[in-house]
Amino acid sequence: MAGGGPSVTIAHPTYIARARVDGEGKLAEAGEPLASLQAACGGVMGGPLAVPELSEIVAKALSYGLKLSRPFAALGEDERITGWAEATPGDDGGCELGIIAWHAEPIGPSDADAQVARVRQELNRALPEFSARLDARQNVMTSHSSASDLAQLARKIMQRPGKPWTEYVRVITSMSDQPLHWRLLDGASVEVEGSARRWTAWLEPLGMPEPGAAGFVLTFMSDEVLPASPLDEAEGGDALPSLGEDLAPVLRRPINRVIAHAETIRTKLAGPLADIYAGYAGDMVDAGEHLLALIEDIADLEGVETAGFKVELDRINLGEAARQACGILGARAQERSIALVPPPPGEHQWARGEFRRVLQILINLIGNAIAYSPEESQVWVRLDREGREASVTVADQGRGLSEAEQQRVFDKFERLGRSGDGGSGLGLYISSRLARAMEGTLTVESAPGQGARFRLILPALD
Amino acid sequence: MTGLRASIPPDPNDHPLRAALTRGDALRARSVPALQHLLAAQHSPMISEAIVAHVGGILRDLAQQIIDSRPASDQVAGRERVIDGLLQIDALREHCQALALEWRLAVRLEAEVAVDPVLTPLLQALVADPDPGVGSLAMAALSAQARFAQAQRRMQLPLAELPAELFHTILLTVRDVLDDAREEWERAEVRLRALYDEGAGRLSLFARLASVAKSIPTPMPAIEEAGVALWLSTVAARSGEDRDRTACAMADPQLGRLLLTLRAAGVAPADAERQALRAQPDAILPRGLQDVGTREAAQWLAAAQA
């Protein structure tokens, strides 16, 4: 075969689009749909070729001085494009580009996108507006909600307790067989009577060996923020705007949008563009989520610091709260390979307090323990009773706190020298204020190198 | 005798016989593991004697084409230097080995299940595809495959059939090797580059066919329907794995990489095992493929290459 060129019989491929790239890598001319793709990738006519994989093919053809024929992929405005391009280097240092195959499909959520979304939802589970503990047959055992438009749902559950949760809300599903397997309901869209918002239900199975054997934690999340009602605003009178009540809802919306857009950029660039940009977008998401968490903390802070702050004291089961908190943070613990040990199912300790506030405190304590413990360590949550005092203890194997640090740890904005980890320094302060509001206390015992034991003490009930 | 003795250096360490002794021993020392390797590989399908001979033949043919491409000068000495230069290129040896393995598998399938190495049922169907673009592409791929079959039987490979990266690397290597006839070679190089058209090459045609022909069954056509060439290109297009790596994986007695590549291309575990056994009917497959998801398979393959 030496010397004899291949006897190519293929008719010259018909070009769907042609373009010319000059010697400086700038797109001198381009036909449709290439011109639109150039625009969608942020480029202009006469500017550098902005479609990353095409620009790579052109660069290679120019550097080798060879005619190349290769597949490429790109992301358009709202479609994913795959095609085949030919690049022929010219005598003038430029390059002719011919597109011989072009296939566009709408961008659907890929596996990776879905996974990112799911991870984000997992993180958000710590801040649900509605959560309930279900038994193994998905009947509601306890529930609590923190949003005013869910009050009707809470009443409905109180009036007729013990039913499957799907009877209190409308699950948007194409399947009619009831009851559905929990996996089919996890992530389902839900409509709640009295709420204009669309909710997503998440089910976290508890128990071994069969997930769900010990019941579920059900949470409702909504992407929309409850608009502040005009009535609430009127009540504010002429007092200074409060960050918690007035500004938080206003701030949440744009920050949520920033997070959502950064997430979009991140996933869009995960394909053909450089990872470094995806990394920047990831940083934006992290920063946005940090800001959001900070706003939630400050809103909480204002709540507990107002004179009229009241808790609704009730007979509550600390064991239940502890197990529920562990359930919510189980995924986060797993991510850091930390063994989270809740009180065994069936162990009870009754106390006087407000369930959701106790849950909030425990989530804060356990969340800290997970965040500041070494990987592969353990975090225990234990119940106890001494005389008239019932307690929940969260013990970790972290680096522990010195005497001086223990003095300061419950102070407002105290970070104990940590920075850059997304904390606001408000969590423990809020928790200790909440404990006091429930006529209890929050204490810490620790020694450097010995881990820390945070204990929530409430009045015991039989 | 005395005259000879006078030319010997005073230091006994520099004695020419000692130097020859050292060189001879070093050669023997290197040959022992090489021999062991060759003997052990006798039964390895990846570097059987037939494959070694085939790769050697292709490399010689490539060198001959390079020599022939320039006006006659010192042909013989040049040829040996070019062969030596080409032998040093890892990626080229790997590519030639993959082609040799692909070809031998095609020959075996012809003998065992009567699949023509050129005209396979699927390729025939694609030539008659209602989409005229696919039809003419399939026709071009078919004639490229016919040329390939003919060339492989003679252990040859046209330079123009090489992927652009390898083509470029070879030209650069030859530039270094033939630096005594640099100007002459540079003129030849310009001509070779101008004639090169990656899109007319067999690998490019099959890759395009695999990516545009909607009538190729998903997730994967049977190898005896598609033929080895189109099948490998389809696996590469759908799994994102390198075609040469996959071709070599078909000769791996464990077939682990092939199974994972098929899984990454979306082939169901049982089907992947069936297809893999077609490549090596008496292989003992590793267990556990049914527990491996497509994403997991792709991740493992990516991690193995890292």
Residues A335 and A296 reside in one and the same domain: no
pLDDT for A243 beyond 70: no
pLDDT for A110 beyond 70: no
CA A404 to chain B, closest CA, distance in angstroms equals: 47
For residue A123, is it within any domain? no
Residues A450 and A383 reside in one and the same domain: yes
CA A56 to chain B, closest CA, distance in angstroms equals: 13
Any CB–CB contact under 8 A between A14 and chain B? yes
Residues A435 and A327 reside in one and the same domain: yes
**pLDDT digits 0-9 by tens, B87-96:** 999 999 999 9
Chain B nearest-CA residue for A84 = B208
Number of A:B CB contacts under 8 A? 90
- The strand pair at A130-134 and A95-106 is best described as unpaired
Weakest mean pLDDT among A119-123, A337-341, B54-58, B214-218: A119-123
For residue A12, is it within any domain? no
Q: Which of B175, B198, B233 to probe by mutation at the A interface, max A CB count within 10 Å?
A: B198
CA B50 to chain A, closest CA, distance in angstroms equals: 21
Weakest mean pLDDT among A128-142, A298-312, B109-123, B139-153: A298-312
Give the domain-ending residue among A187, A209, A225: A225
For residue A459, is it within any domain? yes
Q: Which of B144, B158, B207 sits opposite A71 (nearest CB)?
A: B207
Domain count, chain A: 4
**pLDDT digits 0-9 by tens, A58-101:** 989 988 889 999 999 888 777 888 889 999 998 888 999 999 88
pLDDT for B109 beyond 80: yes
For residue A213, is it within any domain? yes
Contact A202, A131 (CB under 8 A): no
SS (H, E, C) chain A: CCCCCCCCCCCCCCCCEEEEECCCCEEEEECCCHHHHHHHCCCCCCCECCCHHHHHHHHHHHHHCCEEEEEEEEECCCEEEEEEEEEEECCCCCEEEEEEEEEEEECCCCHHHHHHHHHHHHHHCCCCCEEEEECCCCEEEEEEECCHHHHHHHHHHHHCCCCEHHHCCEEECCCCCCCCCHHHHCCCEEECCCCCCEEEEEEEECCCCCCCCCCEEEEEEECCCCCCCHHHHHHCCCCCCCHHHHHHHHHHHHHHHHHHHHHHHHHHHCCCCCHHHHHHHHHHHHHHHHHHHHHHHHHHHHHHHCCCCCCCCEEEEHHHHHHHHHHHHHHHHHHCCCEEECCCCCCCCEEEECHHHHHHHHHHHHHHHHHHCCCCCEEEEEEEEECCEEEEEEECCCCCCCHHHHHHCCCCCCCCCCCCCCCCCCHHHHHHHHHHHCCCEEEEEECCCCCEEEEEEEEECC
Round to whole Å and give the CA distance between A242 and A88: 65
Give the domain-ending residue among A247, A278, A302: A302
Q: Which domain holds residue A457?
A: 310-462
Residues A392 and A284 reside in one and the same domain: no
CA B24 to chain A, closest CA, distance in angstroms equals: 39
Q: Which of A10, A60, A64 sits opposite B140 (nearest CB)?
A: A10
Chain A nearest-CA residue for B161 = A6
* Residues of chain B found within 8 Å of residue A70, distances taken between Cβ atoms: 198, 204
pLDDT for A420 beyond 70: no
Residues A337 and A418 reside in one and the same domain: yes
Higher pLDDT, A106 or A233: A106
Residues A334 and A446 reside in one and the same domain: yes
Chain B nearest-CA residue for A67 = B197
Given an 8 Å threshold on Cβ–Cβ distance, is A70 in contact with B198? yes
A319-350: b (≥16 Cβ within 10 Å) or e: bbbbbbbbbbbbbbbeeeebebebbeeeeebb
For residue A353, is it within any domain? yes
pLDDT for A6 beyond 60: no
Residues A165 and A40 reside in one and the same domain: no
Evaluate if pTM is beyond 0.90. Answer: no
Give the residue numbers in B contacting A (CB under 8 Å), as ranges: 61, 64-65, 68-69, 133, 136-137, 139-140, 143-144, 147, 151, 156-158, 160-161, 164-165, 167-168, 193, 195-201, 204-205, 207-208, 211-212, 237, 295
Residues A253 and A198 reside in one and the same domain: no
- CATH at A31: 3.30.450.20
Residues A297 and A351 reside in one and the same domain: no
Residues A139 and A94 reside in one and the same domain: no
For residue A3, is it within any domain? no
pLDDT, mean over chain A: 78
For residue A417, is it within any domain? yes
Round to whole Å and give the CA distance between B220 and B205: 18
**pLDDT digits 0-9 by tens, A111-155:** 555 555 555 544 544 456 787 888 888 888 777 777 778 888 888
pLDDT of residue B91: 94
SS (H, E, C) B2-23: HHHHHHCCCCHHHCHHHHHHHH
pLDDT for A336 beyond 80: yes
* Residues of chain B found within 8 Å of residue A11, distances taken between Cβ atoms: 136
Any CB–CB contact under 8 A between A65 and chain B? yes
Is this prediction's ipTM beyond 0.90?
no
For residue A252, is it within any domain? yes
Task: Read off the pLDDT of each residue in B209-230 and give the average, rounded to a whole number.
Answer: 91
Residues A455 and A351 reside in one and the same domain: yes
Contact A129, A220 (CB under 8 A): yes
pLDDT for A175 beyond 60: no
Residues A444 and A339 reside in one and the same domain: yes
CA B163 to chain A, closest CA, distance in angstroms equals: 9
Give the domain-ending residue among A106, A139, A165: A106
Chain A nearest-CA residue for B165 = A64
Weakest mean pLDDT among A266-275, B23-32, B116-125, B225-234: A266-275
